[in-house]
Amino acid sequence: MDLIESFSIDHRYIIPGIFESRVDTIGDNSKITTYDIRLKRPNVEPAIDVLGMHSLEHIIATYLRNNPEWKNEIIYWGPMGCLTGFYLILKGNRKPEEIYNLILDAFIEVERYTEVPGATEPNCGNYLLHNLSMAKWYAREFVDYLKKNKDNKLIFEYPKTKRLVTNDGNNFFDS
Which residues make up the interface to Zn ion (CB under 5 A)? 124
Type of residue found at 162: K
**Alpha-carbon span 34 to 24, nearest angstrom:** 8
The smaller minimum CB distance to Zn ion, of residues 127 and 156, is found at 127
Q: Rounded to the nearest whole angstrom, what is the least distance from the CB of residue 151 to Zn ion in the complex?
A: 35
The smaller minimum CB distance to Zn ion, of residues 72 and 133, is found at 133
**Alpha-carbon span 9 to 13, nearest angstrom:** 8
The smaller minimum CB distance to Zn ion, of residues 68 and 122, is found at 122
The smaller minimum CB distance to Zn ion, of residues 27 and 122, is found at 122
Nearest-CB residue to Zn ion? Answer: 124
**Alpha-carbon span 140 to 27, nearest angstrom:** 39
The smaller minimum CB distance to Zn ion, of residues 83 and 124, is found at 124
Q: Rounded to the nearest whole angstrom, what is the least distance from the CB of residue 19 to Zn ion in the complex?
A: 25
Q: Rounded to the nearest whole angstrom, what is the least distance from the CB of residue 123 to Zn ion in the complex?
A: 7
Q: Rounded to the nearest whole angstrom, what is the least distance from the CB of residue 59 to Zn ion in the complex?
A: 11
**Alpha-carbon span 41 to 13, nearest angstrom:** 8
Q: Rounded to the nearest whole angstrom, what is the least distance from the CB of residue 62 to Zn ion in the complex?
A: 11
